[in-house]
Amino acid sequence: MELLNWDGTFSFFLIIAIHYIIHTVNGDDSLKVSLISTGSALPEKVLDNTEISTMVETSDQWITERTGIKTRRVVTTETTISLAVEASKRAMEKAGVAPSDIDLVICATITPDTVVPSAACRIRHELGIDKGAAFDVNAACSGFIYSVSLARSLMLTEDYNTALIVGSEVLSRIVDWTDRTTCILFGDGAGAAILKKDSDLGGEILATHIESFNDIQNALVCDNYPIETPFYTGYKPEKTKLVMDGQQVFRFAVNAIVDSITAVLKKAGKTADEIKYIVPHQANVRIIDSAANKLKIDKSRFFVNLHKVGNTSSASIPIALDELFDSEKPQKGDLVLIVGFGGGLTAGSALIRY
């Protein structure tokens, strides 16, 4: 039997040709990755500036004026994994995604509970996810954005459809609680997001931009744990707690935010005026204000929650995003820009359209 006569063959190729023309003119909209939900989890213990003032020589006034931070959360019994699992469950619930849907798990952290297995593998196990890949990313405070960028690339080029991205930190375990220049800044917590391929729910990630810079002057360092082997006992880590040159990091941070925002907007062909919200890494309100001034973007468009949670490194952006979306649902077409910087040195940004 003749499967396709001349007319049938002609019609078939005509449909293919029309489809090709539409996609060439409009861009191929079938290949997209969207950030469809967020979730977060914080430890129970609230540590306010007054309590820190009993531990090191500082004051609520100094911390508030120089950083904007009033309180942060610190773990007692919680862990990187327990916080991550809690945040992930909330993000999965909001997205209506089951463990069996997820085929990629990335955890951004500089404070994993174990070296092996990775935090991502343990989160996956606890959530009952049993397919696809899981691994950790260490890009310090830019870790969540690096993970989003990586997941998006993997989903566009490989066979992954639904990703769970988590930033989870217990920085209180690596902070030097006798050093007033660092211990006032950091907090613990976790934030998660579900990324989906070809979703119509909004949240398309239009572009990402990630970069690293050599930290020549060791502006932000936490050395490895002490290592002694039968073959070498000479490795003596000097900085087993977090050590930071605050002013250097401050200068880097302001430029990194400005450059990263500029770069991702250029990639997406958008302008700063079109952005509805900017969700920056929550490190210091003075860093955010300086970057806003340099970019000539009104400060009110930068979402800030650091006064409540401090700097939670790779968890800071997803925690802030989650708070923003809980209080204000993005409208169709809204552009949301996330931007971060951190140890490494690293920086990154992503532009999302709802």
- Can you tell me which of 45, 64, 66, 113 binds ligand UT7, judged by CB under 6 A? 66
Q: Does the footprint of ligand UT7 cover residue 167 (CB under 6 A)?
A: no
Shortest reach from residue 299's CB to ligand UT7, in Å: 17
Candidate ranges 58-66, 203-211, 268-276, 298-306; the one touching ligand UT7 (CB under 6 A) = 58-66
- Choose between 147 and 311: whose C-beta lies nearer to ligand UT7: 311
Cα Dmax for the chain: 90
Among residue numbers 71 through 130, which ones bind ligand UT7 (CB under 6 A)? none
CA distances from 156 to 121, 150, 202, 281 (A): 22, 10, 17, 26
Burial of 159 (0-12, 13-18, 19+ CB in 10 A): exposed
Q: Does the footprint of ligand UT7 cover residue 180 (CB under 6 A)?
A: yes
- Choose between 36 and 244: whose C-beta lies nearer to ligand UT7: 244
- Choose between 56 and 272: whose C-beta lies nearer to ligand UT7: 56
Among residue numbers 119 through 148, which ones bind ligand UT7 (CB under 6 A)? 141
Cis bond before residue 117 (omega within 30° of 0): yes
Residue 23 is a catalytic residue: no
Among residue numbers 265 through 324, which ones bind ligand UT7 (CB under 6 A)? 283-284, 311
User: Per the residue annotation, which of 107, 121, 141, 183 is the catalytic one?
Assistant: 141
- Choose between 118 and 313: whose C-beta lies nearer to ligand UT7: 313
Candidate ranges 26-34, 62-70, 160-168, 329-337; the one touching ligand UT7 (CB under 6 A) = 62-70
- Can you tell me which of 43, 143, 318, 342 binds ligand UT7, judged by CB under 6 A? 342
Residue 311 is a catalytic residue: yes
CA distances from 224 to 23, 198, 221 (A): 51, 41, 10
Q: Does the footprint of ligand UT7 cover residue 45 (CB under 6 A)?
A: no
User: Per the residue annotation, which of 49, 183, 209, 281 is the catalytic one?
Assistant: 281
- Can you tell me which of 181, 255, 262, 305 binds ligand UT7, judged by CB under 6 A? 181
Residue 141 is a catalytic residue: yes
- Can you tell me which of 190, 253, 306, 347 binds ligand UT7, judged by CB under 6 A? 253
- Can you tell me which of 74, 164, 170, 184 binds ligand UT7, judged by CB under 6 A? 184
Candidate ranges 41-49, 158-166, 199-207, 241-249; the one touching ligand UT7 (CB under 6 A) = 241-249
- Can you tell me which of 34, 37, 40, 67 binds ligand UT7, judged by CB under 6 A? 67
- Provide the token pair at 81: 């994994």
Phi, psi angle pair for 106, to nearest 5°: -125, 130
- By CB under 6 A, how many residues form the interface with ligand UT7? 19
Q: Note whether 257 and 339 are within 8 A (CB).
A: yes
- Minimal CB distance to ligand UT7: which residue? 246
Shortest reach from residue 57's CB to ligand UT7, in Å: 7
- Non-local (6+) Cβ contacts of 91 within 8 A are 37, 38, 39, 164, 192, 193, 194, 322
- Choose between 37 and 311: whose C-beta lies nearer to ligand UT7: 311
Residues that bind ligand UT7 (CB under 6 A): 58, 62-63, 66-67, 141, 180-181, 184, 244, 246-247, 249-250, 253, 283-284, 311, 342
* Catalytic residue IDs: 141, 281, 311
